[in-house]
Amino acid sequence: MWRVPAGEWAGRDAFIIGGGASLSGVDVEQIRGRGHVIAVNDAGLDLAPWADILFFADGWPRWFSWNYRRLPEFKGGLIVTRAKVPQVDDRIRLLRHDPAAALSQDPQRLAGYCGGASAINLAYLMGARRIVLLGFDMQGGNWHDNHRAPPLENAFARHFIPSLNRMAVELAAAGCEVFNANRDSALKCFPFCDLEDLPHG
């Protein structure tokens, strides 16, 4: 079981690239070099293969089984997951998952119901002082059509958003700033921002 190197990103910004349709046509190169980057699922293969971390939450028979042959296309540092999967790439690091927790302080465990929430928890544990979310639409489909299973019914409203609402309270109490770069997102618990207006950090 891996331990997150707590504080390794202390004082830096982190950007998390999710899966929402709002990413269609967005040039994520604009965040390259502005901080650390966690790319969730396909974002780490197609949008930002240069990210610091590729994070995925679903193992077999979902995201990992569909994409494990493509993992060499990710050129970044680590591949982090909360799913027990075969060690097909020596960059894979496994963390435990506690979906009932609002925010994990344990460097071996991630909270969050969805993969995006767990990626936020990971950036927090790494010590990021400010976290900026891209593609966290929490409604509609993905920016790609590679998902091979139907979405869980009402998953955004029933599970994803409530989990992130709880996490937002804990992050604010811990002094970690989180911003949502999609003003049309159904996720309202983090203040909205425009990427071009954020100072480099």
Neighbours of 75 (CB within 10 A): 11
Whether 8 is in a domain gets the answer: no
Whether 5 is in a domain gets the answer: no
Q: What is the pTM of this model?
A: 0.94
Where do we find the tokens 């899966």? 19
CATH code assigned at 115? 3.90.1480.10
pLDDT tier at 41, thresholds 50, 70, 90? very high
Over the stretch 2-28, which tens digit does the pLDDT of each residue have?
Answer: 999 999 999 999 999 999 999 998 899
Helix-then-strand count for the chain, H and E: 4, 9
Tokens of 65: 């089984």
Q: How far apart are CA 196 and CA 201, in angstroms?
A: 13
Q: Long-range contact list for 186-195, CB < 8 A, 24+ apart?
A: 186/137, 186/138, 186/139, 186/156, 186/161, 187/133, 187/136, 187/137, 187/138, 187/161, 189/161, 189/164, 189/165, 190/133, 193/132, 195/30, 195/31, 195/132, 195/134
Whether 165 is in a domain gets the answer: yes
**The domain containing residue 105 runs over which residues?**
13-197
144 pLDDT above the threshold of 70: no
75 pLDDT above the threshold of 90: yes
Q: Structural domain tally of the chain?
A: 1
Residue 192: per-residue pLDDT:
97
182 pLDDT above the threshold of 80: yes
Tokens of 3: 């331990």
Whether 4 is in a domain gets the answer: no
Helix (H) or strand (E) holding 173: helix 161-173
Whether 29 is in a domain gets the answer: yes
Whether 39 is in a domain gets the answer: yes
**pLDDT, average across residues 144-152:** 61
Contacts of 175 (CB under 8 A, 6+ apart): none
Residue 201: per-residue pLDDT:
60
The three-class DSSP label of residue 12 is coil
Whether 2 is in a domain gets the answer: no
Residue 147: per-residue pLDDT:
64
Whether 155 is in a domain gets the answer: yes
